[in-house]
Every structure is written in structure tokens, then in C-alpha cells.
């Protein structure tokens, strides 16, 4: 796997896209810094990566713990790639979103990204090199009534990342925003409605790794779903509102983690 970064940090690495990215990046000469809340699953990911001869350092923490997250990242001497992946999702099923649920999603999905990438940016500025990847979602292009807070949080990090990309260019730092559609992970396993173009996590991670090599501003997939959502986002609300009103609700529950 030539052309890969050597020192890679991934948040939300105990399952889903984060775990698969870690496993696919793992190889001799690669150093992985992995963090998540679930110690058991994260240790399983570490084992899988070390079996592929990667050096792996893990940190058990909640992405909402700003102080601990910042301290951990700042203690690392060098980083080639940081993937801000950790996030949660929940929806309006069962009576709508509570204020507590909205706040939890915002703090995790927005603040978690900010507090991941900024300590990393400080390191990369000293190096005058590095790459940031922010995991957003196709839901960030058009707010979905079934998951208002999740859609809004992913829109926020998408727009922030797109703007920050231009700011960081002068420092030699690359930044890409990744907006996947439905990926089969523990996060989507709770959905009890049809998910068009559902993709397995192995393929999704492979797409991300391949495209990050080219430093695109945006990595959006699968293309058919991306095109439909982009088209819908261009239409006036009087056309789209009746369509979205017929969509099934996303479960409202203890939010599932990326």
C-alpha cells in the first residue's frame, strides 16, 4: 500500500468506519493512534492491526472530554493524517428529539471534531505538512425531518471543513470532508427502514483511503445517492416538504456511536 501516510490518528476507532479504516491502513511501518470509548472493542481492533505488523497506540476516552482529548493528541510528536470520525446518531421516533438528545449530538459531533482537529493542526503547522479528514454525512446536505440534530451537526462540520481547507493551504496542510451515505455499521443497524444504496463498511473504507491520496475537497459516495440529495437540496421547500413528510422516522433512543 504505497503512498500511505505513516502516522495516523483515528477517533471512533472501535467499530464501524473508524475500525475498518484502522484495519485497512494497518501495515508494517504504519503507526496508528486509535481512540474510542469502548475498551473491549478498541483492544480487538488493536489486535487486528498489530497482526498486520502496525504499531498501535490506543486511548480510551469520551470524545466529549475536551481536556483529555486535547492532552492526548498534543502529546503526539508527529502526525501525517488525522481522521475525525467519532460521532453519534439518533432521531425523532417515539415523540421527537429532547433537548438533551440534541445537545448530546451537537457536543459529540461538532465539538468532538473541533477538539480533535485543532490540536492536530498545531502539530501539523510545525511540520508544515499533514492531512485532516472530517467524517460528515450526505445528511449534511439537506436537513432530514427524521434526524434534525444529526443532519445539522453533519452540515456544520461539512461547511466548517470546506472553509478551513482554504485557510490551511498556506501551512501545507490538506483537508478533505467525507460525506458517505448509508454504511452498514452499528449506527445504521438500528434503522428499521429501507436504506438506499446501503454499502458494506469494507468498501466504504477502501473508497475513503483511495480518494484521500488525491486530496479532494470532498469525498461523497455513493454517487447516485449523492446526486439525488444534491438535487433535492436545490429544490424549493414547497416541493421537498411533502416528500420528506412521508419518510419513516429514525429511532429516538440512547444515541448510537460511530
160 assigned to active site: no
Judge whether 69 lies within some domain: yes
Tell me, yes or no, whether 2 lies in a domain: no
Residue 21 within any structural domain of the chain: yes
What was the pLDDT predicted at 38? 96
* Per-residue pLDDT at 250: 63
* Per-residue model confidence as pLDDT tens digits over 129-188: 999 999 999 989 988 888 899 999 999 999 999 999 999 999 999 999 999 988 887 766
CATH number of the domain where residue 145 is located: 3.40.50.720
pLDDT of amino acid 184: 84
C-alpha 129/C-alpha 5 separation (Å) is 11
**Would residue 1 count as lying in a domain?**
no
Helices 39-50 and 16-25, packing angle to 10 deg: 20
Reported as a pLDDT band with limits 50, 70 and 90, residue 96 is: confident
Domain of residue 230, residue span: 7-257
CB contact at 8 A, 220 and 179: yes
Judged by DSSP in three states, 221 sits in: strand
Q: Are strands 88-89 and 256-257 parallel, antiparallel or unpaired?
A: antiparallel
Structural domain includes residue 100: yes
Query: What percentage of residues in the chain have a pLDDT greater than 90?
Result: 72
Instruction: Output the pLDDT for position 89.
Output: 86
Of 150, 160, 182, 226, the active-site residue reads 150
Look up cell 490506543; give the residue.
58
Give yes or no for residue 255 having a pLDDT over 60: no
Inside any domain, residue 160: yes
Contacts of 62 (CB under 8 A, 6+ apart): 37, 68
Q: What is the mean pLDDT of the chain?
A: 91
Number of domains making up the chain: 1
Amino acid at each position: 500500500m504505497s503512498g500511505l501516510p505513516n502516522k495516523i490518528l483515528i477517533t471512533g476507532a472501535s467499530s464501524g468506519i473508524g475500525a475498518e479504516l484502522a484495519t485497512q491502513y494497518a501495515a508494517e511501518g504504519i503507526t496508528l493512534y486509535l481512540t474510542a470509548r469502548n475498551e473491549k472493542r478498541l483492544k480487538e481492533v488493536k489486535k487486528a492491526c498489530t497482526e498486520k505488523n502496525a504499531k498501535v497506540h490506543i486511548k480510551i476516552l469520551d470524545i466529549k472530554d475536551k481536556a483529555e482529548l486535547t492532552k492526548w493528541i498534543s502529546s503526539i510528536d508527529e502526525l501525517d493524517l488525522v481522521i475525525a470520525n467519532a460521532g453519534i446518531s439518533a432521531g425523532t421516533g417515539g415523540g421527537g428529539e429532547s433537548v438533551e438528545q440534541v445537545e448530546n449530538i451537537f457536543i459529540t459531533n461538532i465539538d468532538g471534531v473541533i477538539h480533535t482537529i485543532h490540536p492536530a493542526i498545531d502539530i501539523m503547522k510545525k511540520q508544515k505538512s499533514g492531512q485532516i479528514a472530517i467524517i460528515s454525512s450526505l445528511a449534511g446536505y439537506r436537513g432530514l425531518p427524521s434526524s434534525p440534530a444529526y443532519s445539522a451537526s453533519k452540515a456544520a462540520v461539512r461547511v466548517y471543513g470546506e472553509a478551513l481547507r482554504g485557510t490551511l493551504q498556506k501551512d501545507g496542510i490538506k483537508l478533505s470532508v467525507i460525506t458517505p451515505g448509508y454504511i452498514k455499521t452499528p449506527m445504521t443497524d438500528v434503522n428499521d427502514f429501507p436504506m438506499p444504496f446501503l454499502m458494506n463498511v469494507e468498501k466504504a473504507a477502501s473508497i475513503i483511503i483511495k480518494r484521500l491520496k488525491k486530496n479532494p475537497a470532498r469525498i461523497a459516495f455513493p454517487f447516485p445517492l449523492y446526486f439525488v440529495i444534491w438535487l433535492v437540496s436545490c429544490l424549493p421547500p414547497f416541493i421537498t416538504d411533502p416528500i420528506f413528510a412521508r419518510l419513516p422516522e429514525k429511532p429516538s433512543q440512547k444515541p448510537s456511536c460511530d
